[in-house]
A and B are shown apart, each in its own frame.
Chain A
Amino acid sequence: MMLTIDGLNAYYGKSHVLQGVSLTVDEGEIVCLLGRNGAGKTTTLKSIVGAVPTRTGRISFGDRRIETLRTYEIARLGVALVPEQRGIFGLLTVEENLAIAARTASQWNLAAIYRMFPRLEERRRNRGTALSGGEQQMLAIARALIGGPRLLLLDEPTEGLAPVIVEELMTIVGEVRRAGVSVLLVEQNLKFCEALADRHYILDQGSIVFTSDRAGFVSAHAERERYLAVAAY
Protein backbone atom coordinates (compact mmCIF):
# COMPACT_ATOMS: atom_id res chain seq x y z
CA MET A 1 0.00 0.00 0.00
CA MET A 2 1.35 3.44 -0.93
CA LEU A 3 -0.75 5.46 1.51
CA THR A 4 -2.72 4.17 4.49
CA ILE A 5 -4.76 6.51 6.64
CA ASP A 6 -6.24 4.94 9.72
CA GLY A 7 -8.60 6.72 12.12
CA LEU A 8 -7.59 10.26 11.22
CA ASN A 9 -9.02 13.09 13.30
CA ALA A 10 -8.29 16.73 12.59
CA TYR A 11 -9.21 19.88 14.45
CA TYR A 12 -9.24 23.61 13.86
CA GLY A 13 -9.20 24.94 17.40
CA LYS A 14 -12.22 23.33 19.07
CA SER A 15 -13.96 22.30 15.86
CA HIS A 16 -13.53 18.60 15.18
CA VAL A 17 -13.38 18.53 11.38
CA LEU A 18 -12.26 14.97 10.50
CA GLN A 19 -13.79 12.21 12.58
CA GLY A 20 -11.95 8.95 12.10
CA VAL A 21 -11.20 9.00 8.39
CA SER A 22 -9.60 5.85 6.99
CA LEU A 23 -8.57 5.36 3.39
CA THR A 24 -5.88 3.77 1.27
CA VAL A 25 -4.17 4.46 -2.02
CA ASP A 26 -2.32 1.60 -3.72
CA GLU A 27 0.75 1.75 -5.96
CA GLY A 28 -0.13 3.29 -9.31
CA GLU A 29 -3.73 3.90 -8.33
CA ILE A 30 -5.85 6.99 -8.89
CA VAL A 31 -8.24 7.38 -6.00
CA CYS A 32 -10.93 10.03 -5.94
CA LEU A 33 -12.18 11.70 -2.77
CA LEU A 34 -15.58 13.35 -3.23
CA GLY A 35 -17.96 15.24 -1.01
CA ARG A 36 -19.79 18.51 -0.60
CA ASN A 37 -18.14 21.81 0.21
CA GLY A 38 -17.01 21.74 3.81
CA ALA A 39 -17.01 17.94 4.04
CA GLY A 40 -13.31 17.93 4.99
CA LYS A 41 -11.60 16.97 1.71
CA THR A 42 -8.99 19.73 1.80
CA THR A 43 -8.39 19.04 5.48
CA THR A 44 -7.74 15.38 4.66
CA LEU A 45 -5.09 16.26 2.08
CA LYS A 46 -3.50 18.83 4.36
CA SER A 47 -3.44 16.33 7.22
CA ILE A 48 -1.44 13.89 5.10
CA VAL A 49 1.35 16.45 4.67
CA GLY A 50 1.11 17.76 8.22
CA ALA A 51 -0.24 21.15 7.24
CA VAL A 52 -3.11 21.33 9.75
CA PRO A 53 -2.81 22.60 13.31
CA THR A 54 -3.81 19.36 15.11
CA ARG A 55 -4.36 15.81 13.97
CA THR A 56 -4.42 12.31 15.49
CA GLY A 57 -4.50 8.87 13.96
CA ARG A 58 -2.07 6.87 11.88
CA ILE A 59 -0.77 7.82 8.46
CA SER A 60 1.67 5.52 6.67
CA PHE A 61 3.51 6.15 3.46
CA GLY A 62 4.86 2.85 2.17
CA ASP A 63 5.93 1.17 5.40
CA ARG A 64 6.85 4.45 7.10
CA ARG A 65 4.71 6.22 9.67
CA ILE A 66 4.63 9.89 8.69
CA GLU A 67 2.14 11.50 11.06
CA THR A 68 4.92 12.72 13.34
CA LEU A 69 7.10 14.14 10.56
CA ARG A 70 7.36 17.78 9.56
CA THR A 71 5.76 18.96 6.32
CA TYR A 72 9.04 19.31 4.44
CA GLU A 73 10.15 15.84 5.52
CA ILE A 74 6.92 14.30 4.23
CA ALA A 75 7.36 16.19 0.97
CA ARG A 76 10.92 14.89 0.63
CA LEU A 77 9.74 11.31 1.09
CA GLY A 78 7.72 11.81 -2.09
CA VAL A 79 4.29 13.21 -1.16
CA ALA A 80 3.39 16.31 -3.18
CA LEU A 81 0.30 18.38 -2.46
CA VAL A 82 -1.04 20.67 -5.17
CA PRO A 83 -3.19 22.97 -3.05
CA GLU A 84 -6.64 24.25 -3.93
CA GLN A 85 -5.32 27.80 -4.39
CA ARG A 86 -2.43 26.44 -6.46
CA GLY A 87 0.16 28.29 -4.40
CA ILE A 88 2.03 29.76 -7.36
CA PHE A 89 4.59 32.35 -6.29
CA GLY A 90 3.53 35.48 -8.12
CA LEU A 91 6.86 37.28 -7.72
CA LEU A 92 8.84 34.37 -9.15
CA THR A 93 9.07 33.50 -12.82
CA VAL A 94 7.65 30.22 -14.07
CA GLU A 95 11.16 28.80 -14.22
CA GLU A 96 12.00 29.96 -10.70
CA ASN A 97 8.79 28.39 -9.40
CA LEU A 98 10.04 25.12 -10.88
CA ALA A 99 13.67 25.57 -9.86
CA ILE A 100 13.02 25.91 -6.14
CA ALA A 101 11.06 22.64 -6.16
CA ALA A 102 13.41 20.62 -8.39
CA ARG A 103 15.17 17.58 -6.97
CA THR A 104 17.70 15.45 -8.80
CA ALA A 105 15.97 12.22 -7.78
CA SER A 106 12.87 13.18 -9.78
CA GLN A 107 12.07 11.27 -12.96
CA TRP A 108 11.15 14.65 -14.51
CA ASN A 109 13.88 17.23 -15.07
CA LEU A 110 13.17 20.69 -16.46
CA ALA A 111 13.37 19.51 -20.08
CA ALA A 112 10.91 16.67 -19.44
CA ILE A 113 8.53 19.06 -17.70
CA TYR A 114 8.65 21.45 -20.65
CA ARG A 115 7.93 18.54 -23.04
CA MET A 116 4.90 17.70 -20.94
CA PHE A 117 3.80 21.35 -20.54
CA PRO A 118 4.94 23.22 -23.69
CA ARG A 119 2.93 26.28 -22.65
CA LEU A 120 5.05 26.66 -19.53
CA GLU A 121 8.21 26.77 -21.64
CA GLU A 122 6.74 29.61 -23.68
CA ARG A 123 6.01 31.45 -20.47
CA ARG A 124 9.16 30.50 -18.57
CA ARG A 125 10.32 34.09 -18.06
CA ASN A 126 6.88 35.36 -17.04
CA ARG A 127 6.05 35.95 -13.42
CA GLY A 128 3.43 33.82 -11.69
CA THR A 129 1.02 36.74 -11.48
CA ALA A 130 0.99 37.00 -15.28
CA LEU A 131 -0.37 33.46 -15.75
CA SER A 132 -3.97 32.50 -16.52
CA GLY A 133 -5.84 30.17 -14.15
CA GLY A 134 -5.17 27.18 -16.41
CA GLU A 135 -1.47 27.99 -16.68
CA GLN A 136 -1.25 28.35 -12.90
CA GLN A 137 -2.80 24.94 -12.42
CA MET A 138 -0.39 23.39 -14.94
CA LEU A 139 2.54 25.08 -13.21
CA ALA A 140 1.34 23.85 -9.81
CA ILE A 141 1.26 20.27 -11.09
CA ALA A 142 4.56 20.65 -12.94
CA ARG A 143 6.16 22.03 -9.80
CA ALA A 144 4.93 19.03 -7.82
CA LEU A 145 6.28 16.59 -10.43
CA ILE A 146 9.73 18.15 -10.67
CA GLY A 147 10.14 17.36 -6.96
CA GLY A 148 9.90 13.65 -7.78
CA PRO A 149 6.73 12.54 -5.96
CA ARG A 150 5.53 8.96 -5.61
CA LEU A 151 2.13 10.18 -4.44
CA LEU A 152 0.43 13.25 -5.85
CA LEU A 153 -2.38 14.92 -3.88
CA LEU A 154 -4.53 17.10 -6.14
CA ASP A 155 -7.08 19.44 -4.53
CA GLU A 156 -9.83 20.35 -7.00
CA PRO A 157 -7.52 20.78 -9.98
CA THR A 158 -10.34 21.49 -12.47
CA GLU A 159 -11.92 24.24 -10.38
CA GLY A 160 -12.62 27.30 -12.52
CA LEU A 161 -10.95 25.93 -15.66
CA ALA A 162 -12.29 25.98 -19.22
CA PRO A 163 -13.36 22.59 -20.66
CA VAL A 164 -10.40 22.36 -23.06
CA ILE A 165 -8.00 22.85 -20.18
CA VAL A 166 -9.83 20.20 -18.18
CA GLU A 167 -9.29 17.79 -21.11
CA GLU A 168 -5.60 18.63 -21.11
CA LEU A 169 -5.42 18.08 -17.38
CA MET A 170 -7.01 14.68 -17.79
CA THR A 171 -4.29 13.64 -20.25
CA ILE A 172 -1.63 14.85 -17.84
CA VAL A 173 -3.01 12.98 -14.84
CA GLY A 174 -3.16 9.86 -17.03
CA GLU A 175 0.48 10.38 -17.98
CA VAL A 176 1.43 10.80 -14.34
CA ARG A 177 -0.19 7.49 -13.51
CA ARG A 178 1.62 5.74 -16.38
CA ALA A 179 4.86 7.05 -14.89
CA GLY A 180 4.01 5.04 -11.77
CA VAL A 181 2.90 7.91 -9.52
CA SER A 182 -0.19 7.31 -7.38
CA VAL A 183 -2.80 10.06 -7.23
CA LEU A 184 -5.28 11.02 -4.54
CA LEU A 185 -7.69 13.34 -6.30
CA VAL A 186 -10.19 15.64 -4.60
CA GLU A 187 -12.79 16.77 -7.10
CA GLN A 188 -16.27 18.22 -7.52
CA ASN A 189 -16.25 17.42 -11.23
CA LEU A 190 -17.79 13.93 -11.36
CA LYS A 191 -17.00 13.32 -15.03
CA PHE A 192 -13.34 14.05 -14.39
CA CYS A 193 -13.34 11.58 -11.49
CA GLU A 194 -15.20 8.87 -13.35
CA ALA A 195 -12.85 9.12 -16.30
CA LEU A 196 -9.71 8.73 -14.19
CA ALA A 197 -10.30 7.06 -10.86
CA ASP A 198 -9.86 3.38 -10.01
CA ARG A 199 -11.69 3.82 -6.71
CA HIS A 200 -13.88 6.41 -5.04
CA TYR A 201 -14.51 7.57 -1.50
CA ILE A 202 -17.25 9.95 -0.44
CA LEU A 203 -16.61 12.11 2.60
CA ASP A 204 -19.51 13.70 4.48
CA GLN A 205 -19.23 15.84 7.60
CA GLY A 206 -15.76 14.54 8.30
CA SER A 207 -16.46 10.82 7.87
CA ILE A 208 -16.12 8.41 4.97
CA VAL A 209 -19.69 7.40 4.13
CA PHE A 210 -19.21 5.47 0.89
CA THR A 211 -16.48 3.63 -0.91
CA SER A 212 -16.52 1.79 -4.21
CA ASP A 213 -14.59 0.72 -7.27
CA ARG A 214 -15.10 2.23 -10.71
CA ALA A 215 -18.20 0.20 -11.65
CA GLY A 216 -19.80 0.52 -8.23
CA PHE A 217 -19.60 4.29 -8.38
CA VAL A 218 -21.50 4.53 -11.67
CA SER A 219 -24.41 2.54 -10.27
CA ALA A 220 -24.44 4.21 -6.84
CA HIS A 221 -27.37 6.45 -7.67
CA ALA A 222 -28.70 6.80 -4.14
CA GLU A 223 -25.33 7.83 -2.63
CA ARG A 224 -24.59 10.24 -5.43
CA GLU A 225 -27.98 11.84 -4.92
CA ARG A 226 -27.63 11.95 -1.16
CA TYR A 227 -24.04 13.12 -0.71
CA LEU A 228 -23.13 14.88 -3.91
CA ALA A 229 -26.37 16.28 -5.33
CA VAL A 230 -25.56 19.86 -4.42
CA ALA A 231 -22.08 19.67 -5.75
CA ALA A 232 -22.78 17.55 -8.84
CA TYR A 233 -22.94 19.30 -12.17
Chain B
Amino acid sequence: MSVNLLLTQIVNGLGIGMIYFMIAIGLSIIFGIMHFINIAHGAFYLVGAYLCYALVSATGNFWLALALAPLAVGVVAWLAEPGVRRLYDLPASLQILATLGLALVIQEAVILIFDPLGKNVAAPAGLRGAAFFGSFVYPKYRLFVIVFTAAVAAVLWFLLERTRYGAVLRAGTESMQTVELLGIDISRIFSLTFAVGAALTALSGVLAAPIRGVEPFMGVEALSIAFVIVVIGGIGSFTGALAGGLLIGVVQSVMTTFWAAGANIMIYVAMALIILVRPHGLLGRA
Protein backbone atom coordinates (compact mmCIF):
# COMPACT_ATOMS: atom_id res chain seq x y z
CA MET B 1 0.00 0.00 0.00
CA SER B 2 1.38 3.37 -0.96
CA VAL B 3 2.09 6.18 1.46
CA ASN B 4 -0.45 8.34 -0.35
CA LEU B 5 -3.17 5.75 0.00
CA LEU B 6 -2.45 5.37 3.71
CA LEU B 7 -2.45 9.15 4.09
CA THR B 8 -5.75 9.36 2.24
CA GLN B 9 -7.29 6.77 4.54
CA ILE B 10 -6.03 8.56 7.62
CA VAL B 11 -7.42 11.89 6.46
CA ASN B 12 -10.70 10.17 5.54
CA GLY B 13 -10.74 8.74 9.02
CA LEU B 14 -10.27 12.18 10.55
CA GLY B 15 -13.27 13.56 8.65
CA ILE B 16 -15.49 10.62 9.53
CA GLY B 17 -14.12 10.72 13.07
CA MET B 18 -15.18 14.36 13.43
CA ILE B 19 -18.68 13.41 12.29
CA TYR B 20 -18.70 10.60 14.86
CA PHE B 21 -17.50 13.03 17.50
CA MET B 22 -20.44 15.36 16.85
CA ILE B 23 -22.88 12.45 17.19
CA ALA B 24 -21.21 11.20 20.36
CA ILE B 25 -20.84 14.50 22.19
CA GLY B 26 -24.62 15.01 22.28
CA LEU B 27 -25.21 11.45 23.49
CA SER B 28 -22.47 11.82 26.07
CA ILE B 29 -23.67 15.10 27.57
CA ILE B 30 -27.32 14.07 27.56
CA PHE B 31 -26.39 10.86 29.34
CA GLY B 32 -24.04 12.67 31.70
CA ILE B 33 -26.63 15.28 32.70
CA MET B 34 -29.98 13.56 32.53
CA HIS B 35 -28.73 9.98 33.06
CA PHE B 36 -30.92 9.24 30.11
CA ILE B 37 -30.07 6.43 27.69
CA ASN B 38 -31.45 7.61 24.40
CA ILE B 39 -31.51 4.79 21.84
CA ALA B 40 -33.34 7.20 19.54
CA HIS B 41 -30.25 9.45 19.41
CA GLY B 42 -29.26 7.83 16.10
CA ALA B 43 -32.61 8.95 14.69
CA PHE B 44 -31.48 12.59 14.87
CA TYR B 45 -28.64 11.63 12.53
CA LEU B 46 -30.97 9.68 10.27
CA VAL B 47 -33.48 12.52 10.07
CA GLY B 48 -30.71 15.08 9.51
CA ALA B 49 -29.37 13.05 6.60
CA TYR B 50 -32.81 12.53 5.01
CA LEU B 51 -33.72 16.20 5.42
CA CYS B 52 -30.48 16.92 3.58
CA TYR B 53 -31.44 14.47 0.83
CA ALA B 54 -34.96 15.91 0.55
CA LEU B 55 -33.84 19.54 0.54
CA VAL B 56 -31.03 18.95 -1.92
CA SER B 57 -33.40 17.00 -4.21
CA ALA B 58 -36.02 19.73 -4.02
CA THR B 59 -33.87 22.84 -4.17
CA GLY B 60 -30.41 21.69 -5.21
CA ASN B 61 -29.10 23.82 -2.37
CA PHE B 62 -26.90 21.92 0.08
CA TRP B 63 -26.24 25.02 2.19
CA LEU B 64 -29.93 25.43 2.85
CA ALA B 65 -29.97 21.87 4.21
CA LEU B 66 -26.87 22.53 6.29
CA ALA B 67 -28.63 25.46 7.96
CA LEU B 68 -32.23 24.21 8.13
CA ALA B 69 -31.97 20.52 9.04
CA PRO B 70 -30.10 20.99 12.36
CA LEU B 71 -32.33 23.95 13.21
CA ALA B 72 -35.53 21.97 12.55
CA VAL B 73 -34.35 18.90 14.47
CA GLY B 74 -33.11 21.08 17.34
CA VAL B 75 -36.42 22.94 17.64
CA VAL B 76 -38.43 19.70 17.58
CA ALA B 77 -36.15 18.20 20.22
CA TRP B 78 -36.47 21.33 22.36
CA LEU B 79 -40.27 21.14 22.16
CA ALA B 80 -40.30 17.39 22.81
CA GLU B 81 -37.94 17.43 25.81
CA PRO B 82 -40.57 18.21 28.47
CA GLY B 83 -42.38 15.05 27.34
CA VAL B 84 -39.21 12.97 27.13
CA ARG B 85 -38.39 14.13 30.68
CA ARG B 86 -40.83 11.60 32.13
CA LEU B 87 -38.32 8.91 31.16
CA TYR B 88 -35.36 10.31 33.14
CA ASP B 89 -36.44 8.82 36.45
CA LEU B 90 -37.34 5.42 35.01
CA PRO B 91 -34.99 2.42 35.20
CA ALA B 92 -32.48 2.12 32.35
CA SER B 93 -34.29 -0.92 30.92
CA LEU B 94 -37.49 1.09 30.42
CA GLN B 95 -35.60 4.03 28.94
CA ILE B 96 -34.02 1.65 26.45
CA LEU B 97 -37.35 0.04 25.56
CA ALA B 98 -39.18 3.31 25.13
CA THR B 99 -36.49 5.01 23.05
CA LEU B 100 -35.83 1.86 21.01
CA GLY B 101 -39.53 1.90 20.14
CA LEU B 102 -39.29 5.54 19.14
CA ALA B 103 -36.16 4.88 17.07
CA LEU B 104 -37.94 2.08 15.18
CA VAL B 105 -41.01 4.24 14.55
CA ILE B 106 -38.84 7.00 13.08
CA GLN B 107 -36.88 4.50 10.99
CA GLU B 108 -40.11 2.93 9.62
CA ALA B 109 -41.50 6.40 8.92
CA VAL B 110 -38.41 7.17 6.85
CA ILE B 111 -38.91 3.92 4.92
CA LEU B 112 -42.58 4.77 4.33
CA ILE B 113 -41.96 8.33 3.21
CA PHE B 114 -38.95 7.49 1.04
CA ASP B 115 -38.21 3.80 0.47
CA PRO B 116 -35.78 1.24 1.90
CA LEU B 117 -33.15 1.82 -0.77
CA GLY B 118 -30.00 3.85 -0.31
CA LYS B 119 -29.70 7.14 -2.18
CA ASN B 120 -26.84 9.38 -3.13
CA VAL B 121 -26.67 13.03 -2.24
CA ALA B 122 -24.57 15.29 -4.46
CA ALA B 123 -21.91 17.42 -2.88
CA PRO B 124 -22.50 21.16 -3.31
CA ALA B 125 -21.38 22.54 -6.66
CA GLY B 126 -18.28 24.35 -5.43
CA LEU B 127 -16.99 21.31 -3.55
CA ARG B 128 -17.13 18.62 -6.21
CA GLY B 129 -13.92 17.13 -7.51
CA ALA B 130 -10.53 17.08 -5.90
CA ALA B 131 -7.94 19.43 -4.46
CA PHE B 132 -4.27 18.90 -5.30
CA PHE B 133 -1.42 19.18 -2.80
CA GLY B 134 1.65 18.19 -4.84
CA SER B 135 1.18 14.47 -5.37
CA PHE B 136 -1.55 14.23 -2.76
CA VAL B 137 -5.02 14.46 -4.19
CA TYR B 138 -8.02 14.78 -1.95
CA PRO B 139 -11.79 15.28 -2.46
CA LYS B 140 -12.74 18.89 -1.80
CA TYR B 141 -15.96 18.02 -0.02
CA ARG B 142 -14.22 15.80 2.52
CA LEU B 143 -11.70 18.54 3.10
CA PHE B 144 -14.56 20.95 3.71
CA VAL B 145 -16.07 18.53 6.24
CA ILE B 146 -12.81 18.43 8.20
CA VAL B 147 -12.45 22.20 8.28
CA PHE B 148 -16.11 22.82 9.05
CA THR B 149 -16.35 20.23 11.82
CA ALA B 150 -13.12 21.53 13.33
CA ALA B 151 -14.72 24.98 13.45
CA VAL B 152 -17.89 23.55 15.03
CA ALA B 153 -15.76 21.68 17.57
CA ALA B 154 -13.91 24.91 18.41
CA VAL B 155 -17.19 26.76 18.98
CA LEU B 156 -18.46 23.87 21.06
CA TRP B 157 -15.27 23.81 23.11
CA PHE B 158 -15.60 27.52 23.76
CA LEU B 159 -19.24 27.07 24.76
CA LEU B 160 -18.45 24.23 27.15
CA GLU B 161 -15.20 25.49 28.63
CA ARG B 162 -15.46 29.26 28.56
CA THR B 163 -19.09 30.19 29.15
CA ARG B 164 -21.32 30.08 32.19
CA TYR B 165 -23.72 27.73 30.40
CA GLY B 166 -20.83 25.35 29.74
CA ALA B 167 -19.71 25.47 33.36
CA VAL B 168 -23.27 24.70 34.46
CA LEU B 169 -23.34 21.73 32.07
CA ARG B 170 -20.05 20.37 33.35
CA ALA B 171 -21.26 20.88 36.91
CA GLY B 172 -24.47 19.08 35.99
CA THR B 173 -22.62 15.92 34.99
CA GLU B 174 -21.46 15.81 38.63
CA SER B 175 -24.71 16.70 40.42
CA MET B 176 -27.84 18.28 38.99
CA GLN B 177 -29.28 18.55 42.51
CA THR B 178 -26.40 20.80 43.61
CA VAL B 179 -26.77 22.89 40.45
CA GLU B 180 -30.40 23.46 41.36
CA LEU B 181 -29.44 24.48 44.90
CA LEU B 182 -27.54 27.38 43.33
CA GLY B 183 -30.77 28.81 41.93
CA ILE B 184 -30.42 27.43 38.42
CA ASP B 185 -33.54 26.15 36.67
CA ILE B 186 -32.41 22.72 35.55
CA SER B 187 -35.44 22.05 33.38
CA ARG B 188 -34.31 24.84 31.04
CA ILE B 189 -30.81 23.36 31.01
CA PHE B 190 -32.31 19.96 30.13
CA SER B 191 -34.33 21.35 27.21
CA LEU B 192 -31.45 23.36 25.82
CA THR B 193 -28.97 20.49 26.16
CA PHE B 194 -31.30 18.01 24.51
CA ALA B 195 -31.89 20.45 21.66
CA VAL B 196 -28.20 21.24 21.13
CA GLY B 197 -27.29 17.53 21.23
CA ALA B 198 -30.02 16.73 18.71
CA ALA B 199 -29.06 19.62 16.40
CA LEU B 200 -25.38 18.61 16.39
CA THR B 201 -26.33 15.04 15.55
CA ALA B 202 -28.61 16.18 12.74
CA LEU B 203 -25.76 18.36 11.46
CA SER B 204 -23.57 15.24 11.39
CA GLY B 205 -26.24 13.53 9.30
CA VAL B 206 -26.28 16.42 6.82
CA LEU B 207 -22.48 16.41 6.52
CA ALA B 208 -22.32 12.63 6.14
CA ALA B 209 -24.99 12.44 3.43
CA PRO B 210 -22.81 13.49 0.43
CA ILE B 211 -20.03 11.16 1.65
CA ARG B 212 -21.92 7.96 2.34
CA GLY B 213 -25.39 8.57 0.88
CA VAL B 214 -28.54 8.02 2.93
CA GLU B 215 -30.27 4.76 3.88
CA PRO B 216 -32.78 3.96 6.63
CA PHE B 217 -30.38 1.98 8.80
CA MET B 218 -27.68 4.61 9.08
CA GLY B 219 -29.16 5.81 12.41
CA VAL B 220 -28.65 2.45 14.11
CA GLU B 221 -25.08 2.22 12.86
CA ALA B 222 -24.32 5.76 14.07
CA LEU B 223 -25.83 5.02 17.46
CA SER B 224 -23.64 2.00 18.13
CA ILE B 225 -20.51 3.88 17.09
CA ALA B 226 -21.50 6.83 19.28
CA PHE B 227 -21.91 4.49 22.25
CA VAL B 228 -18.46 3.04 21.61
CA ILE B 229 -17.01 6.57 21.56
CA VAL B 230 -18.73 7.53 24.80
CA VAL B 231 -17.36 4.40 26.45
CA ILE B 232 -13.87 5.08 25.08
CA GLY B 233 -13.85 8.79 25.82
CA GLY B 234 -15.62 8.84 29.16
CA ILE B 235 -19.11 10.12 29.90
CA GLY B 236 -19.58 13.87 29.59
CA SER B 237 -16.02 14.53 28.37
CA PHE B 238 -15.53 16.83 25.38
CA THR B 239 -11.90 15.91 24.77
CA GLY B 240 -12.74 12.25 25.39
CA ALA B 241 -15.43 12.29 22.71
CA LEU B 242 -13.10 14.12 20.33
CA ALA B 243 -10.21 11.70 20.88
CA GLY B 244 -12.57 8.71 20.78
CA GLY B 245 -14.28 9.89 17.60
CA LEU B 246 -11.01 10.50 15.76
CA LEU B 247 -9.56 7.21 16.95
CA ILE B 248 -12.56 5.20 15.79
CA GLY B 249 -12.76 7.11 12.51
CA VAL B 250 -9.10 6.47 11.69
CA VAL B 251 -9.11 2.82 12.84
CA GLN B 252 -12.20 2.12 10.78
CA SER B 253 -10.92 3.92 7.71
CA VAL B 254 -7.40 2.48 7.72
CA MET B 255 -8.68 -1.02 8.45
CA THR B 256 -10.94 -0.82 5.40
CA THR B 257 -7.85 -1.04 3.18
CA PHE B 258 -6.18 -3.85 5.15
CA TRP B 259 -9.14 -5.98 6.03
CA ALA B 260 -12.41 -4.54 4.83
CA ALA B 261 -14.59 -7.22 6.38
CA GLY B 262 -13.06 -6.63 9.80
CA ALA B 263 -13.13 -2.85 9.84
CA ASN B 264 -16.20 -2.68 12.06
CA ILE B 265 -14.99 -5.46 14.34
CA MET B 266 -11.82 -3.48 14.95
CA ILE B 267 -13.92 -0.64 16.41
CA TYR B 268 -15.10 -2.93 19.16
CA VAL B 269 -11.64 -4.44 19.62
CA ALA B 270 -10.28 -0.92 20.12
CA MET B 271 -13.02 -0.22 22.66
CA ALA B 272 -12.35 -3.46 24.56
CA LEU B 273 -8.61 -2.74 24.71
CA ILE B 274 -9.15 0.77 26.00
CA ILE B 275 -11.60 -0.15 28.73
CA LEU B 276 -9.32 -2.98 29.82
CA VAL B 277 -6.55 -0.44 30.37
CA ARG B 278 -8.72 2.49 31.48
CA PRO B 279 -12.14 1.35 32.79
CA HIS B 280 -13.51 4.93 32.90
CA GLY B 281 -12.40 5.71 29.36
CA LEU B 282 -9.50 7.70 27.97
CA LEU B 283 -10.41 10.90 29.79
CA GLY B 284 -13.24 9.76 32.02
CA ARG B 285 -13.31 9.79 35.77
CA ALA B 286 -14.61 7.38 38.37
* Residues of A bordering B, CB below 8 Å: 49, 51, 70-72, 75-76, 80-81, 83, 87, 89-92, 96-97, 99-101, 103, 143, 147
Contacts of B184 in A (CB 8 A): 72, 100
Q: Considering the chains assembled together, what is the distance between the CA atoms of A97 and B178 in angstroms?
A: 11
A147-B183 in contact (CB<8A): yes
B181 at the interface (CB under 8 A from A): yes
Q: A92-B171, A100-B171 are in contact. Are A87 and B181 (CB under 8 A)?
A: yes
Q: Considering the chains assembled together, what is the distance between the CA atoms of A99 and B164 in angstroms?
A: 7
Q: A87-B178, A100-B179 are in contact. Are A72 and B171 (CB under 8 A)?
A: no
Q: Considering the chains assembled together, what is the distance between the CA atoms of A92 and B167 in angstroms?
A: 7
23 A–B contacts, CB within 8 A, in A order? A51-B177, A51-B180, A51-B181, A72-B184, A72-B185, A72-B186, A81-B181, A83-B181, A89-B175, A89-B178, A91-B171, A91-B173, A91-B174, A91-B285, A96-B170, A97-B171, A99-B164, A100-B168, A100-B182, A101-B182, A101-B183, A143-B182, A147-B183
Chain B 173-215, CB within 8 Å of chain A: the 1/0 string?
Answer: 1110111111111100000000000000000000000000000
Contacts of A70 in B (CB 8 A): 180, 185
Contacts of A72 in B (CB 8 A): 180-186
A148 to chain B, nearest CB (A): 9
- Most central of B168, B179, B180 by chain A CB within 10 Å: B180
Q: Considering the chains assembled together, what is the distance between the CA atoms of A149 and B173 in angstroms?
A: 25
Contacts of B179 in A (CB 8 A): 100
A218 to chain B, nearest CB (A): 34
Q: Considering the chains assembled together, what is the distance between the CA atoms of A70 and B188 in angstroms?
A: 13
Q: Considering the chains assembled together, what is the distance between the CA atoms of A147 and B183 in angstroms?
A: 8
A100-B164 in contact (CB<8A): yes
A124 to chain B, nearest CB (A): 14
Contacts of A80 in B (CB 8 A): 181
B162: nearest residue on chain A (CB-CB)?
A96
Contacts of A143 in B (CB 8 A): 182
Q: Considering the chains assembled together, what is the distance between the CA atoms of A49 and B184 in angstroms?
A: 13
* Chain B interface SS verdict (over half): helix
- A51-B177, A72-B181, A89-B175 known; 10 other A-B pairs, CB under 8 Å? A75-B180, A75-B182, A81-B181, A87-B178, A90-B174, A91-B171, A91-B173, A92-B170, A99-B167, A147-B182
Which of A71, A81, A91 has a CB less than 8 Å from the CB of B170?
A: A91
A100-B167 in contact (CB<8A): yes
A81 to chain B, nearest CB (A): 5
A87-B180 in contact (CB<8A): no
Q: A92-B170, A92-B171, A99-B164 are in contact. Are A75 and B183 (CB under 8 A)?
A: yes
Contacts of A76 in B (CB 8 A): 183
10 tightest CB-CB pairs across the interface, nearest first?
A75-B183, A87-B178, A101-B182, A89-B171, A76-B183, A96-B167, A71-B180, A72-B180, A100-B167, A72-B185
Contacts of B171 in A (CB 8 A): 89, 91-92, 96-97, 100
Which of B170, B183, B186 has a CB less than 8 Å from the CB of A89?
A: B170
A131 to chain B, nearest CB (A): 14
B166: nearest residue on chain A (CB-CB)?
A96
Contacts of A89 in B (CB 8 A): 170-171, 174-175, 178
A71-B181 in contact (CB<8A): yes
B178-A83 in contact (CB<8A): yes
Q: A89-B170, A91-B173 are in contact. Are A103 and B183 (CB under 8 A)?
A: yes
Q: Considering the chains assembled together, what is the distance between the CA atoms of A78 and B183 in angstroms?
A: 9
Q: Considering the chains assembled together, what is the distance between the CA atoms of A75 and B185 in angstroms?
A: 10
B126 to chain A, nearest CB (A): 42
Q: Considering the chains assembled together, what is the distance between the CA atoms of A101 and B175 in angstroms?
A: 14
A71: nearest residue on chain B (CB-CB)?
B180
Q: Considering the chains assembled together, what is the distance between the CA atoms of A82 and B166 in angstroms?
A: 23
B3 to chain A, nearest CB (A): 41
B195 to chain A, nearest CB (A): 20
Contacts of B178 in A (CB 8 A): 83, 87, 89
Q: Considering the chains assembled together, what is the distance between the CA atoms of A72 and B177 in angstroms?
A: 9
